[in-house]
Amino acid sequence: MDLDAITEYSALHPKPSGLILQYGTAGFRTKAEHLDHVMFRMGLLAVLRSKQTKSTIGVMVTASHNPEEDNGVKLVDPLGEMLAPSWEEHATCLANAEEQDMPRVLMDISVKAAVNLQQDAFIVIGRDTRPTSEKLSQSVIDGVTVLEGQFHDYGLVTTPQLHYMVYCRNTSGQYGEATLEGYYQKLSKAFMELTKKTLCSEDEYRSLKVDCANGIGALKLKEMEHYVSQGLSVQLFNDGTKGKLNHLCGADFVKSHQKPPQGMEMKSNERCCSFDGDADRIVYHYLDVDGHFHLIDGDKIATLISSFLKELLLEIGESLNIGVVQTAYANGSSTRYLEEVMKVPVYCTKTGVKHLHHKAQEFDIGVYFEANGHGTVLFSKAAETKIRQLTKELEDERRKAAAKMLENVIDLFNQAAGDAISDMLVIEAILMLKDLSIQQWDALYMDLPNRQLKVKVADRQVISTTDAERQVVTPPGLQEAINDLVKKYKLSRAFVRPSGTEDVVRVYAEADSQENADSLARAVSLAVFQLAGGVGETPPG
Ligand code: G16
């Protein structure tokens, strides 16, 4: 390792002294102007990780659902999954080392992680459409090159597309071809195969309005459109030509405000969906004949998908185990429906797809979705092999057709990461195949009214939690206060947790009516403000 060169180049990407950042829920996220040194250092770290794993590592420059002024970076591990927890710690140490200490910290990491510095390294880089992303990804490249890593810059891609590229490269193309063309071909082939025999030829099932959050999803859907146009026509809104990224639109806005996105023409009963800024989340929505807005979030997506998968398995006559993984944000009605009506085991993990992904790997078929629309389905290697074998061996036509369908479903899901484009195609295929309208899907169960709020505190790390974030440990007294408030409402539940992507504490409440959910959320926000060092305006309570 050429420490002099590292020191020299690092000086071109200086760390603002005293700035401390944490590798959070989805990497580093903060105002873009504070991130140049982090990008350079993540370029360095990616090279070490690549040498250690003897694999291609991904670096994605994005702040996903955050405002346009923010940016962020996360590393993608060999099978397209999120960075291993021990390396998250290395990332935090390296990002926070003061300028003069940085080369030594880098050396320490390479010793601790037993990195063979002679090994070659290969890094793939992607970025979203934020105005700051191009320059920041150049800083990543600077970090990679000073450690003599090789790289390929994919430029503008969705986050899940970059995860896909990493997975493809590390499986020698077995998972797919590591190009955008390869991604579009793989998904569209599976989608067209799945839907070609659908009896429903009505136009209503074939067109979909997509709110692209003024982000990268719009560019990539435009590129993909012609591959699937015989099966689905998509009409794009908030495609980035006028509006600001994630502003009053996109999956995060729609889910947290429970409102239609601005800039989208919605007629009653039309099927609409929203992506987030880097197209790894999707939620569906529609207006009913009375003009009321209905949100179909990640919980209902998980329900639709798992019931379809269960039906297919029944038809094939295979008893592979299915598990659904959620977080504390999952609506109580969804968990009840999955467990009591569908008889599917449900597990709760901490927020962050890395936790859900990990849990979902324990099943033959692991369905994971956060309520915010971030999720996918994982098939174990054994399950995948079994299903592919059955498509060849089965003689009974119905069973064989069901096995083929399941094989296409495997290919249609992005098994490296939650992916709005891939999830959208799976959902559209299921709705076509089951001849379901969006209203029928929505009617599977009634969500409990809920509300999410944010509270500003001086230091959000004063809040620590346990029990998959459903209980507060510190500061003392806060959990007791929440318990007392929850007791005042029927069918109620509330929890708070520090965000890992924004400088806020998140508050979630649900209850028997919207008025009660709102009132409980406000009361809990006030308790957080009073007991956890709130700053700025006191919440109304
Ligand atoms: C990221 C994570 C998600 C998480 C969300 C909010 O989403 O990938 O798993 O639910 O942040 O996290 P927090 O509540 O900790 O701020 P995205 O779409 O922004 O990458």
Is residue 306 flagged as an active site residue? no
Pull the structure tokens for residue 299: 């919980």
Minimal CA–CA distance to 424: which of 177, 228, 199, 263?
228
Minimal CA–CA distance to 125: which of 183, 74, 59?
59
Pull the structure tokens for residue 384: 């995948």
Do residues 57 and 95 share a domain? Answer: yes
Pocket residue to mutate for ligand 1, from 64, 370, 455, 501, most atoms within 8 A of Cβ: 501
Q: What is the CA radius of gyration of the chain?
A: 23
pLDDT at 344: 95
Mean pLDDT across 162-187: 97
263-270's contacts with Cβ under 8 Å and 24+ in sequence apart are 263/211, 263/237, 263/238, 264/209, 264/211, 264/237, 264/238, 265/209, 265/237, 266/209, 269/437, 269/438, 269/439, 270/209
Residue 203 has pLDDT above 60, yes or no: no
322-327, strands of its sheet edge to edge: 346-349, 322-327, 365-369, 375-379
Tell me, yes or no, whether 483 lies in a domain.
yes
Cβ–ligand 1 contact at 158 (below 6 Å): no
Mean pLDDT across 493-520: 96
Cβ–ligand 1 contact at 63 (below 6 Å): no
Tell the residue nearest (CA) to atom 20 of ligand 1: 64
Mean pLDDT across 445-450: 96
In terms of Cβ atoms closer than 10 Å to its own Cβ (0-12, 13-18, 19+), residue 292 is exposed
Cβ–ligand 1 contact at 376 (below 6 Å): no
Cβ–ligand 1 contact at 70 (below 6 Å): no
Do residues 138 and 15 share a domain? Answer: yes
**Cα 311 to Cα 407: distance, rounded to the nearest angstrom:** 14
**Cα 427 to Cα 464: distance, rounded to the nearest angstrom:** 36
Ligand 1: atom nearest CA of 62 is 20
pLDDT-derived band of residue 464, with 50, 70 and 90 as boundaries?
A: very high
Cβ–ligand 1 contact at 285 (below 6 Å): no
Cβ–ligand 1 contact at 506 (below 6 Å): yes
The alpha carbon of 499 and the centre of ligand 1 are apart by a number of angstroms equal to 8
**Cα 485 to Cα 479: distance, rounded to the nearest angstrom:** 10
Do residues 31 and 123 share a domain? Answer: yes
pLDDT at 200: 52
Cβ–ligand 1 contact at 25 (below 6 Å): yes
Residue carrying the six token digits 């504070």: 34
The alpha carbon of 192 and the centre of ligand 1 are apart by a number of angstroms equal to 31
**Cα 178 to Cα 183: distance, rounded to the nearest angstrom:** 7
pLDDT at 154: 98
Ligand 1: atom nearest CA of 251 is 18
For residue 117, the domain's CATH number is 3.40.120.10
Beta strand extents in 145-232 (DSSP E only) = 150-156, 207-211
Do residues 146 and 213 share a domain? Answer: no
Given 260, 278, 296, the domain boundary residue is 296
**Cα 48 to Cα 42: distance, rounded to the nearest angstrom:** 10
**Cα 362 to Cα 355: distance, rounded to the nearest angstrom:** 12
Pull the structure tokens for residue 402: 């069901």
Do residues 274 and 218 share a domain? Answer: yes
Cβ–ligand 1 contact at 370 (below 6 Å): yes
Residue 325 has pLDDT above 70, yes or no: yes
Ligand 1: atom nearest CA of 356 is 9
- DSSP secondary structure letters along 102-144: HHHHHHHHHHHTT--TTS--EEEEEE-S-TTHHHHHHHHHHHH
Ligand 1: atom nearest CA of 504 is 16
Percent of all residues in the chain with a pLDDT value above 90, rounded to a whole number: 94
The alpha carbon of 148 and the centre of ligand 1 are apart by a number of angstroms equal to 32
Tell me, yes or no, whether 437 lies in a domain.
no
pLDDT at 201: 54
pLDDT digits (tens, 9 = 90+) for 35-48: 999 999 999 999 99
Tell the residue nearest (CA) to atom 17 of ligand 1: 64
The alpha carbon of 357 and the centre of ligand 1 are apart by a number of angstroms equal to 13
Mean pLDDT across 170-178: 96
244: Cβ–Cβ under 8 A, 6 or more apart, which residues?
Answer: 68, 214
Cβ–ligand 1 contact at 276 (below 6 Å): yes
Which member of 64, 137, 333, 492 is catalytic?
A: 64
Pull the structure tokens for residue 416: 């490296």
pLDDT at 399: 96
Given 269, 296, 323, the domain boundary residue is 296
Tell me, yes or no, whether 442 lies in a domain.
no
Cβ–ligand 1 contact at 374 (below 6 Å): yes
The alpha carbon of 261 and the centre of ligand 1 are apart by a number of angstroms equal to 19
Establish whether the linkage from the previous residue to 540 is cis, with ω within 30° of 0: no
pLDDT digits (tens, 9 = 90+) for 217-274: 999 999 999 999 888 999 999 999 999 999 999 999 999 999 999 999 999 999 999 9
Given 373, 397, 417, the domain boundary residue is 417
Residue-range definition of the domain harbouring residue 344: 298-417
Identify whether the C-beta of residue 24 lies closer than 8 Å to the C-beta of residue 501. Answer: yes
pLDDT at 196: 87
Mean pLDDT across 483-487: 98
Cβ–ligand 1 contact at 68 (below 6 Å): no
Tell me, yes or no, whether 430 lies in a domain.
no
Ligand 1: atom nearest CA of 370 is 10
Tell me, yes or no, whether 474 lies in a domain.
yes
Mean pLDDT across 408-423: 98
540: Cβ–Cβ under 8 A, 6 or more apart, which residues?
Answer: 522, 526
What are the φ and ψ backbone dihedral angles of 454, each rounded to 5 degrees? -120, 140
Minimal CA–CA distance to 133: which of 78, 193, 87, 70?
70
Side-chain-side CA neighbours of 69 within 13 Å: the count stands at 4
Pull the structure tokens for residue 452: 């999410």
Cβ–ligand 1 contact at 372 (below 6 Å): yes
Do residues 23 and 146 share a domain? Answer: yes
pLDDT digits (tens, 9 = 90+) for 124-150: 999 999 999 999 999 999 999 999 999
**Cα 527 to Cα 538: distance, rounded to the nearest angstrom:** 10
What are the φ and ψ backbone dihedral angles of 201, each rounded to 5 degrees? -110, 10
Residue 501 has pLDDT above 60, yes or no: yes
pLDDT at 381: 96
**For residue 294, what are the β-bridge partners?**
286
Do residues 108 and 193 share a domain? Answer: no
Do residues 146 and 7 share a domain? Answer: yes
ipTM of the complex model: 0.97
pLDDT-derived band of residue 206, with 50, 70 and 90 as boundaries?
A: confident
The alpha carbon of 63 and the centre of ligand 1 are apart by a number of angstroms equal to 10
Do residues 283 and 202 share a domain? Answer: yes
Tell me, yes or no, whether 362 lies in a domain.
yes
536: Cβ–Cβ under 8 A, 6 or more apart, which residues?
Answer: 456
Tell me, yes or no, whether 445 lies in a domain.
no
For residue 525, the domain's CATH number is 3.30.310.50
Mean pLDDT across 73-98: 97
Do residues 320 and 457 share a domain? Answer: no
Cβ–ligand 1 contact at 65 (below 6 Å): yes
Helix, strand, coil share of the chain (percent; to 5): 45, 20, 35
Do residues 405 and 489 share a domain? Answer: no
In the chain, how many domains are there? 4
For residue 231, the domain's CATH number is 3.40.120
Residue carrying the six token digits 């940085």: 102
Do residues 35 and 148 share a domain? Answer: yes
Pull the structure tokens for residue 48: 């070490």
Identify whether the C-beta of residue 115 lies closer than 8 Å to the C-beta of residue 54. Answer: no
Ligand 1: atom nearest CA of 500 is 15
Tell the residue nearest (CA) to atom 3 of ligand 1: 352
Tell the residue nearest (CA) to atom 10 of ligand 1: 352
Minimal CA–CA distance to 71: which of 245, 253, 262?
245
Pocket residue to mutate for ligand 1, from 22, 23, 25, most atoms within 8 A of Cβ: 25
Ligand 1: atom nearest CA of 25 is 15
Tell me, yes or no, whether 174 lies in a domain.
no
pLDDT at 513: 97
Per-chain mean pLDDT for the chain: 96
**Cα 338 to Cα 345: distance, rounded to the nearest angstrom:** 7
Identify whether the C-beta of residue 197 lies closer than 8 Å to the C-beta of residue 172. Answer: no
Tell the residue nearest (CA) to atom 9 of ligand 1: 352
H-only helix segments in 462-534: 478-486, 514-531
